[in-house]
Structure 1
Amino acid sequence: MTETRRPASLLIDVGLAVAFALGLAVTAVMIANSWGPGHAVPDGLFGVIVCGLALLRRRDPVRAAVAGLGVAAVAVGVSFVADLPQEPGPITGLALAVLVGSAVRTRPARPATVVAGAGLLVIAASMLTSLDNQHGRTAVTVLDTLCWLAAVAVGLALRRADARARAAIEEVRRAERLELARELHDAVTHHVAGIVVQAQAAQLVGARQPAKLPQMLAGIELAGADALAAMRQVVGLLRDTDDAAPASPGPERLTDLIARFGRHGPPVRLRLPDGEPGWPPEVTATVHRIVQEALTNVSRHAAHAGSVTVTVDEDPDAVRVEVADDAPPAPAGAAHRAGYGLVGMRERVRALGGALRVGPRDGPGWSVRATLPLPGRTPR
């Protein structure tokens, strides 16, 4: 199955077809005037075949190039045996350049090198068989050599340009995949972790205090609804950003986040800067994600903590976020607070040119500290 050609490629092929036709006609007239009409027929025949292969090169560049070079090699032998004008002629040489350049651009290194080398061999054979021919030998040889050099140079240049374009596309796709992974993790893991913790607590408390079970089940239901809402937000972002929920929650959303966490975790104290911060959306979203991930880690690894403190400060040059708990040191062999969430936090902070520190506090507990520079302000 052949791919549909783009309009630009079609225009190029039409231009080549016109150039080939005019060139073959002019060459035929020149050979007829200098060698005689009968001598123009072989050159025209070989030229038409190679030019046709050049116009069909997109189906299989290597096979087209090999076939074209084979025809050119036969033309060299025939011109030598029959004492005809030197081959490959100017237009045939141009068509061979198109074939060689296309193969060098699009094919793997080994077949591309073979095709380029075969083109050079055809030129060398043409030079050797025309040593006794004084009818334009130098001009035709030089023209064929220049066409070959141009084909290799242009093919390599376009090959590098294509490689850079593919690398740029792959980098964009990789960034999109990472962003999607972060959004899914940040939006869903926090809620699912709360559901798991509340379900575990319901199993323990339900047997001892059945009266509290409906309240706990209601909390699980609410956490599930929050998880569904978060998933809808991510799906909305993927489908159409105009229909998506806000992707950059403001500081006031931190209150809702902490309220949800407080239903199944230790009490949280929130400290926010006075007034309306007016941060860029990317900074606001990153602050929210850092607090969300840090609280999720507390639920997973430090549910026995007595309290958690969330502090958000704004300096003239940066926003500083800290989430600290007072959980006692974990026993040996306990799970370390690491995973994709920490990776996502580091990626978000690094993307803004900030710094992240995660680890034990001087006293009991664990802390997450992030510094996010504000755009347009020079860090001190």
Structure 2
Amino acid sequence: MHSMSRGVNIGDRLTSGAVDAGLGVVFAAALATTAFAIGGTWGGTYWVFGCAVGAAVCVLALTCRHRAWAAVVGLAVAAGAIPIAWVADLPSEPSPAMALALAVLVGSAIRTLSVRWAIGIATGGLAVAVGAWFVAGVTAAGMNSAGWLTAVALGLWLRSLDVRRRTVAEQVRRDERLELARELHDIVAHHITGIVLHAQAARIVQRKDPDQLDESLIGIETASSGALAAMRRVVGLLRDTDDGAPATPGPEQLSELVSRFTGPPVRLRLPDGEPVWPPEVTSTVYRIVQESLTNVARHAAHASSVTVDVSQDRRAITVEVVDDAPPAPARHHRRGGYGLVGMRERVEALGGTLRASPRSGAGWAVHATLPLPDREMR
């Protein structure tokens, strides 16, 4: 999906990278602490086994924590290390590093995997925790049990947040779908009116100048083709993306929208002349600007100005909405919220791209490109 998804995913990848870096530091510190503690109390090379199996599980938790097989392998390593350490009279397992890595694996599985896999891995983690009480020391067993309980609680909480987020997004899409159904009526009426006018003109031409009848028939054919193309695009949105936008008569409605805006001053630039766009394109441009200004009012009230620039060339319409609000980390995450979910799907269903992201220095930018149908480029 394409450019807006990439823009949103950049932030997700940065967050994931920060989490990975943090976990890496914590795992390294836990392994070093384990080695130092065992070396100081047991002496010799007793620390090697615990650090080796702990490092293996830490690597799994760091690199593959969202995979079911990684959790299974991690639990298997832990389950094997416990009796080996007991039989060989080695320091008790799981070590602090391994207990922490197991907690990450179990928590990630509960959050992201299917219910069946989540329950299975949580049960496996419980089995390891219970097994530690029989053969490991109280400290190791208690630490592993506490890690398992924390992983289950945190995993369930994050899973519930994800479910809620998806539910809200689906509700947004359903609401947009209802709006699009209303728009479909307006689009059909627009094109059918054109066909009726051409048909009426054809009857008049037939009586007065039969030689000119072909031109009227060509007009009917062109209007009919346009109606079919527009309806296919809009019905495609209903079927594939569940998003919509209210119909608007034309680009001039943007001036009225900007005049009603109660936030920072807005500078509006529109294409020269009176461009004629397909209704589904016109309404999408309107909704992009509307949603962008709504986001400015909600999250960038301290901006001193907003620029709305709508331009057109032979192939596409470009919409850019830019504000100059001072940076606020909490706002950056919210500016790409549910209001843009429908717009992203809708723009891409029309063959366009939508990107929303913070600007370098200050402010936020929304950039959309909508290709014009071939008939609009002639």
Q: Distance in 2 between matches of 1:68 and 1:18?
A: 19
Residue 57 of structure 1, CA deviation: 2.0
Q: Distance in 1 between matches of 2:280 and 2:192?
A: 18
Equivalent position SS for 2:59: helix
Matched residue, 1:189:
188
Q: Distance in 1 between matches of 2:41 and 2:179?
A: 70
Q: Distance in 2 between matches of 1:88 and 1:243?
A: 56
Residue 118 of structure 1, CA deviation: 0.5
Q: Superposition pairs for residues 286-325 of structure 1, below 5 Å? A: none
Q: Which amino acid aligns with 2:67?
A: P
Q: Distance in 2 between matches of 1:212 and 1:219?
A: 11
Q: Distance in 2 between matches of 1:170 and 1:212?
A: 56
Residue number among 118, 129, 148 corresponding to 1:123 in the alignment? 129
Unpaired segments of 5 or more residues in structure 1? 131-136, 245-380
1:93 aligns with 2:92: no
Q: Which has the higher contact order (CA 8 A, sep 6+)?
A: 2
1:47 aligns with 2:46: no
Residue 240 of structure 1, CA deviation: 5.6
**Offset from partner CA, 1:35-69 (integer Å, 9 cap, x none):** 223211111111111111110125x5211111111
Q: Which amino acid aligns with 1:71?
A: V
Residue 177 of structure 1, CA deviation: 3.2
Residue 162 of structure 1, CA deviation: 0.8
Residue 219 of structure 1, CA deviation: 12
Identity of aligned residues (%): 39
Q: Give the 3 Å change call, closer, same or farther, for CA 24–120 of structure 1 in structure 2.
A: same
Q: Distance in 2 between matches of 1:115 and 1:31?
A: 30
Whether the 8 Å contact between 2:195 and 2:223 is mirrored in structure 1 is no
Q: Give the 3 Å change call, closer, same or farther, for CA 37–240 of structure 1 in structure 2.
A: farther
Whether the 8 Å contact between 1:50 and 1:95 is mirrored in structure 2 is yes
1:235 aligns with 2:242: no
Equivalent position SS for 1:85: coil
Q: Which amino acid aligns with 1:179?
A: E
Q: Distance in 1 between matches of 2:204 and 2:45?
A: 105
Q: Superposition pairs for residues 69-148 of structure 1, below 5 Å? A: 69-130=75-136, 137-148=137-148
Structure with bigger gyration radius:
1
Q: Which amino acid aligns with 2:70?
A: A
Matched residue, 1:10:
17
Q: Which amino acid aligns with 1:183?
A: E
Q: Distance in 2 between matches of 1:66 and 1:163?
A: 24
Q: Distance in 2 between matches of 1:161 and 1:20?
A: 26
Matched residue, 1:34:
41
Residue 191 of structure 1, CA deviation: 3.1
Equivalent position SS for 1:102: helix
**Offset from partner CA, 1:315-352 (integer Å, 9 cap, x none):** xxxxxxxxxxxxxxxxxxxxxxxxxxxxxxxxxxxxxx
1:64 aligns with 2:70: yes
Whether the 8 Å contact between 2:198 and 2:219 is mirrored in structure 1 is no
Q: Distance in 2 between matches of 1:191 and 1:6?
A: 45
Q: Distance in 2 between matches of 1:18 and 1:155?
A: 21
Q: Which amino acid aligns with 2:30?
A: G
Q: Distance in 2 between matches of 1:237 and 1:194?
A: 19
Q: Give the 3 Å change call, closer, same or farther, for CA 48–233 of structure 1 in structure 2.
A: same
**Offset from partner CA, 1:246-266 (integer Å, 9 cap, x none):** xxxxxxxxxxxxxxxxxxxxx
**Offset from partner CA, 1:70-98 (integer Å, 9 cap, x none):** 11111112112101121111111011000
Q: Which amino acid aligns with 1:49?
A: A
Q: Superposition pairs for residues 316-355 of structure 1, below 5 Å? A: none
**How many matched pairs?**
233
Residue 233 of structure 1, CA deviation: 3.8
Whether the 8 Å contact between 1:198 and 1:219 is mirrored in structure 2 is no
Unpaired segments of 5 or more residues in structure 2? 1-8, 231-249, 251-275, 291-378
Q: Give the 3 Å change call, closer, same or farther, for CA 91–138 of structure 1 in structure 2.
A: same
Matched residue, 2:350:
none
